[in-house]
Structure 1
Amino acid sequence: MKDGETPPPCARGLGPEPGASAQIRGLDGLPLELVDSVFRHAARLNDSKRTISACACVSRQWRKLSLPHLFSSLKVARLLHFDDFCTFLTTRPDIARHVRNLQLMRLRRYGGIPVAEAIVGPNISHTDLINIVTRLPRLQTLHLDNVFILHSTGDLTSPEALLPTAHLRLQKLSMSSCSGRVGPMAVLALPTLFDSLTIFPADVVDLSWLTIACDSGEVTFDGIQLPPATYQPNQTLNVRSLILDKISNRGWSLSDTTRLYSMFRQALAPRCLTSFQAQRRKDLHVVQPKPTFDKRNPHALRVLGELLEHAGGDALLHLSLPFSIEGESPEDRPEHWRILRLHKCCNIESFTLSLDRPLDLPGTHAISRIPLSTGCIALLAHLPSTLREFTLVLWPNITSEEIQDRAVLNLQALDDTLTSRFPRLAEVEIVLPFNSTFHETYQAVVNTMHKCSERRLLKGRRWGRAW
């Protein structure tokens, strides 16, 4: 530009430079799949999301392309209630129609200061949830994280009450650390839990870190007398995948969840489950004297077996059991596991189990009577030959030296069983804790399970991450 000439409008910030409109039209001319893929990926990154938001504020074309991705996932954190969010959805249907994933959670920090745990909230009722969900026509995933779900006095599961959500079918409903108030303890009542599952039907139900009131007798919930443990859901649940993780029964410590499994057996539709994951995660800092699931109790195994046979049967493809094999009697006998009725689940393709040494409690010895793999092999005897993926979780108190010790684990015997009994086996995944000996421990597994290693079936993974 020569001296004295007036700069173009774009150089002065007064308008687009020549040819910019053609470039914008070119953006719209790209294949829709490519544009969606770029925006979908960029909207997940905080820096890119801020950039896209800024562009959308000054460009109508960018706004049109980016809006569905910028608001596809919303995370709403509140301290007391979600009334303002419901009002926002009512006044902004142009944004609400793009929301596919919604997370309602407790505000953990306010103005940079952690929120005290003593503050009870945020509270939300089923009626409030219905008002929110019905304003989100494309909602696929609903996640409730650390919120208090208030029990409703009316029957919200009657056909008339379910009319507002009759068209609704979520891909996933997740509830984590949710509770209500029963007496002095924050627990979730059975009617509240199953009303939630009925009002918001979903293909995948993920329940974690819940304390559920399953006790016999009447309990008081926010001053309301609830039915006893004989409570029965009045609607059948059609769930494809059920995930239960760190569930306890009316207390802060882990306890037997047999009653909850029995309730799900009565509520779930026959042969609806294709995946059942009842995970057990240990607290490495607190020694629990009682496991989540008492696998030595025939009644507990029978209840779990009835659930698997009724809701799974030949439709069940993926199974993760809620206990660890600890090498104690009567785990080493195949007849002990027959009551699980796994022979009725004749199409299982993936199976997850964990090996663990007995807990080192006062007055006991943390030495198993038999090799840990013996109980695992006894259980595998009831699985069908359709198995393609086997996942084995090894807990931290198992060292690399013990992995190669036949008296402790005897993984050689497990290696022989897997390669001989399951001809369709395509992957054996070993899950290890990530610590300073992770690579050493995994190498010990490779050196011990020769047959799986030679067939290139072995795959190592640390907790929460593939390797």
Structure 2
Amino acid sequence: MEASSNDTRLFNELIDIVIDHLHDDKASLAACSLVSRTWRNSGQFHLLESVTLLGVTSEKGLGLDAFLASVAQSPRIGHYVRELRVHGEGSWFGKYTPTELRALSLGPTHIRALVQLPALRRLFLFDLLWNSHRDGPEGLALIRGPAARRGLQKLVVQHVTSARFQDPGQIHDGIYAQDALDILSFFSAVDTFYFGTPRFEVDGCESPLLAPTDIVPHLRFPLPLHIGSLIADPDALDNARSSLAYDVLDHVCLSDGLHTFRAKIKPGDIGAVSHFVSTRAQSIRHYQLDMSAYIALARLGARETFSSLCLSSCTNLETFELHTPWYPPEHLWQYILVALASLPETVRRIHVCVYLTSTLPDCLADACAGLIAPDLAYMTRFPQLATLEFALRHPHGNDAAYPYRFQKCKRMIEEVVPAELKRGVLKVEPCDCLLTPALEPVCLSVLKPSKPLY
């Protein structure tokens, strides 16, 4: 009898080995799941690891409502889901009646229903409508009451737009900010949080936009989140809304524990970003700035910009990455050298993505015009500096002039870098990639289990 038990255990282990080998072959996994209960459980462990859904409701039964209903009917499958992606259609205004919009919107009971997925670690919400009032008093009670909060490894909120923007008059009263906060009220800790504000698609609204200082005091904030890595990509078309996003994040994110800050910012964000970073400077280890939309250097000035961004205050900084603007070219290198001169000596890795403009100076001394020394000799005093990278990028691709510009710019950089750094840590290479935070590739395969699996 004991031998039979050992044989069965060995057989189950062999099944797991075979099915683990098929982890990325969904067709084969689905076929294996129909063999027996043991094969089904092992196959579904992989089949349900990452689930991609198309919207909240779907005529084909591929939406969040249908999936949560299936989990409620068969709770076992909820224990296999580690990653959930929900994709909406992205453009809503003027297409649906209020009743249709309510049915299409994500609401508090949907987020609360994720407790049916106890193994969930990564949640991605793309191009969706959110309606805090969708479920009436019951839903509002989940937001404002002492509901259980959960932690996640990754939370992505990209283009999740308030359904109440269907009424153009409400866009100016902080409605989106409050609805975004309502989503976050369900979470206690997020290792990596991607926050992309929505696309505002309401036209013809003439009401003046309230300043962030007028909106923030009227918002209901959830308990602060423990956020390890924050990727902020506010609306690039509106300084006021973008600044409001950082003010909201400042209230949401605890002041200690943020080790990575990645932001895409513009001149209108500087004040809000400055305050956000200043209260967290001691904990930030990795500071990554995408300033490709920052086209007013001549107006604000490089020194004022990087003084406001608190680079020198990040006394435990290890990695600094900068993605430069490409206009106006006459201030570009002054801008870069001021940024580097603002770094603390704790930095270990520096990466600068530089646009190669059509008007490169003959040397960096000319570019700086005496406003800052074009010399990186001070970096020899950085005891832990291991990498100094310049990735040179052409704004319009690899045109015929690119090789010449690349070589000229490389010589300019090498002239201002001390020999000991040039031999050990300097890297100057072409670059065809942006430092803009990128999300994982979208998986369009949606698992729809067949009836025999249940």
Fold-level similarity (TM above 0.5): yes
Q: Which residue of 2 aligns with 1:189?
A: 176
1:136 and 2:117 are equivalent in the alignment: yes
2:385 to 418, 425, 443: 425
**Is the aligned partner of 1:76 residue 2:53?**
yes
1:35: Cα distance to partner? 7.1
Change (3 A) 1:217 1:209: closer
> What is the TM-score normalised by the length of structure 2?
0.71
How many pairs does the alignment contain? 384
- SS for the counterpart of 2:270 is helix
The Cα RMSD (Å) is: 4.0
Q: Is the 8 A contact 1:77 1:106 kept in 2?
A: yes
The answer as to whether partners of 1:244 and 1:278 remain within 8 angstroms in 2 is: yes
Map of 1:50 onto structure 2: 27
Match of 1:254 among 223, 238, 242: 238
Amino acid at match of 1:381: A
Using structure 1 for the length normalisation, give the TM-score.
0.69
Structure 1: runs of 5+ lacking an equivalent: 1-21, 109-113, 219-226, 281-291, 295-299, 359-365
After TM superposition, list the pairs within 5 Å mapping 1:48-447 onto structure 2: 48-58=25-35, 62-78=39-55, 80=57, 82-106=64-88, 118-119=95-96, 122-131=104-113, 133-152=114-133, 154-160=140-146, 162-163=147-148, 166=149, 168-180=150-162, 181-182=164-165, 183-184=167-168, 189-201=176-188, 202-211=190-199, 215-216=209-210, 228-232=215-219, 233-247=221-235, 253-256=237-240, 257-279=242-264, 292-294=266-268, 301-310=270-279, 312-324=280-292, 328=298, 330-333=300-303, 337-358=306-327, 368=330, 370=331, 372-395=332-355, 398-399=357-358, 402=360, 406=364, 407=366, 416=376, 419-420=379-380, 422-427=382-387, 428=389, 430=391, 432=393, 435-437=397-399, 440=403, 445-447=409-411
Partner amino acid, structure 1, of 2:179 = T
Identify if the C-alpha distance between structure 1 residues 413 and 443 changes in structure 2 by more than 3 Å, giving closer, same or farther.
farther
C-alpha distance in 2 between matches for 1:247 and 1:176: 11
Call closer, same or farther: CA 1:115–1:55 in 2, change over 3 Å. Answer: farther
Judge conservation of contact 2:57–2:65 (CA < 8 Å) in 1.
no
* 2-structure distance, mates of 1:353, 1:392: 5
Choose between structure 1 and 2: higher helix proportion: 2
Change (3 A) 1:66 1:429: farther
2: distance between equivalents of 1:344 and 1:425?
Answer: 18
The percentage of counterpart residues that share the same residue type is 19
What amino acid sits opposite 1:343 in the alignment?
S
Local SS of the residue matching 1:169: strand
SS of the equivalent of 2:86 reads strand
What is the CA distance between 1:174 and its match in structure 2? 0.6
C-alpha distance 271-130 of structure 1, shift in aligned 2 (>3 A) = same
* C-alpha distance in structure 2 between counterparts of 1:36 and 1:429, whole Å: 45
- For residues 80-111 of structure 1, give each alpha carbon's deviation from its aligned partner in whole angstroms, at most 9, with x where no partner exists: 46322221111122221100000111258xxx
Which letter does structure 2 place at the counterpart of 1:58? V
Q: Alpha-carbon deviation of 1:460?
A: 4.9
2:270, 2:305 within 8 Å by CA — same for their partners in 1?
no
Paired residue secondary structure (1:449): helix
Secondary structure of the equivalent of 1:387?
A: coil
Change (3 A) 1:247 1:100: same
Which fold has the larger relative contact order, with Cα–Cα distance below 8 Å and residues 6 or more apart in sequence? 2
Could you give the per-residue CA deviations for residues 164-208 of structure 1, whole angstroms, max 9, x where no partner exists? xx3x21111111111023223896611111121121232221112
How many Å separate the matches in 1 of 2:256 and 2:406? Answer: 38
Letter in 2 for 1:172: K
Cα shift at 1:352 = 2.0
| AA of the residue aligned to 2:84 | L
- Whichever structure has more strand as a proportion of its residues is 1
> Residue 159 of structure 2 aligns to which amino acid in structure 1?
S
- The 2-side partners of 1:228 and 1:353 are apart by 31
8 A contact 1:356–1:398 mirrored in 2: no
